Structure 1
């Protein structure tokens, strides 16, 4: 039915107030499961270094009576390290925008500071998982920290035409032909890590492989809560012959990688903590930089595992 002649509608009016909710809603994910699960420490240089070692393989150690001992050569420790990486966010706010009455926040500077810090934390998570090599700072070259993908060598399962990384020689992994993820791959990787003395407890899984992992026989039984009439359609734990893996949905894993980690063997080392710094004022605006300098320490990469070159089907 048509509008009655000469009735006054909102679209004819001039003085109606606008309605804007006094809140700002974000959909972007903020969780950082890898960085949040590992230890924290302090870096004191742009290339922290540490040493790793391993015991000789166990054997039936016996000698005859009156044995004249022979001195056996000692294997030296392995010296490893990583480069620090500088991550930053920069923003500017005009004097007018900071002064006007705003919905959802009192201060634009404060709101953008909080937002950029969350973004920066996500950037660190992404790099700490996916960076494959350490890069030294040079003129025109930004330094880079080696991430999880570049540390896990010993227990790395990849396609036959792929290659594992080598953190000692700072060599990146080579992608191979993707193959379907199977439960046997997880069992094999768990066993390899256990035989090295590791105890991986977290399985970082990209979204495209999550349902595949949930379908494995070793995944904890789905259950129904009668009191709430809610059926759990997924699993949170994979139980294998060599331990339990808490399945963690990792938004920043590459779609082709799954990582089983022992969190106690990794540390996020910070040379410079996250901080907001005012930049030079050149006009009617306030400019700020938020940055941090960090690196990823792997105390013993052989305690964890990587399964690479994967697809769901």
Structure 2
């Protein structure tokens, strides 16, 4: 069995072919899609977070709204860029959203990916401490977020408060018990995957990672996952780790599918440069008739290593078509791979 969710980048644009032409369209359709995904039996609704772009940015109002309108589906992010975040405020927002959903939040966080503006986190009022890089800052904030999620008091109470205080140091409220154990780290390298394991976070591995050996993407990603699992075991955590991988997967079952995604069939991985001149490998998309798709996905080593698969979706094509995409995977592909 494998958990299957969708991952939406939440794009919008005033384009005649788009169903999501405004931010309001995207937000409302995201809620509708999560509700529909739960109805067809999907396990998770996940959303990217990007600042200074016509994409979803502030996740917690959306996650809370989805939590209020659904009952079983996991709700998450992939990922929140911690360079932009106030960890304490984020603890409060995350706690509220998790309580509304009755403990279904699965938050993916990271030090962040290349953004739309130069050092955008500076506009939010943050900058690295002396001797830190922005990546260091993101990881430091992540650790502070994890620590405060534990719900241990740390703040000295006012002797003359507006309302009576409980005894001892005060924690942030609302506190959601167990949320600390449902935080994921988006790792682009083997080293940060190991770091995530050491700090007790689940692992999210996307459709790209730093090239660390020139092998095919799914092989490198599988190696990253195995290193993560070894580090988790070595760290002595008593709970089971979870691992998700993201993929673009389209079962071509009608003419519209073939028109929109048939051109992706047979394409391979891509290698290229991303921020700071680092070489990365970008995983291929999968698009084929269901029988062929099953054969291709069966050879993906990283999917085999993961317990959760997040299907990236073209959200601009609207709720109905994305439900069709997801339903096609559940009906025509997942059973053939033993996922259902």
Same structural fold, with TM-score higher than 0.5 when normalized by the shorter chain: no
Higher relative contact order (CA 8 A, sep 6+): 1
Report the TM range for the smaller structure's normalisation. Answer: under 0.3
TM-score in terms of structure 2 length: 0.25
Report the structure number with the largest CA radius of gyration.
Answer: 1
TM-score (normalizing by structure 1): 0.27
Structure richer in strand, relative to its length: 1
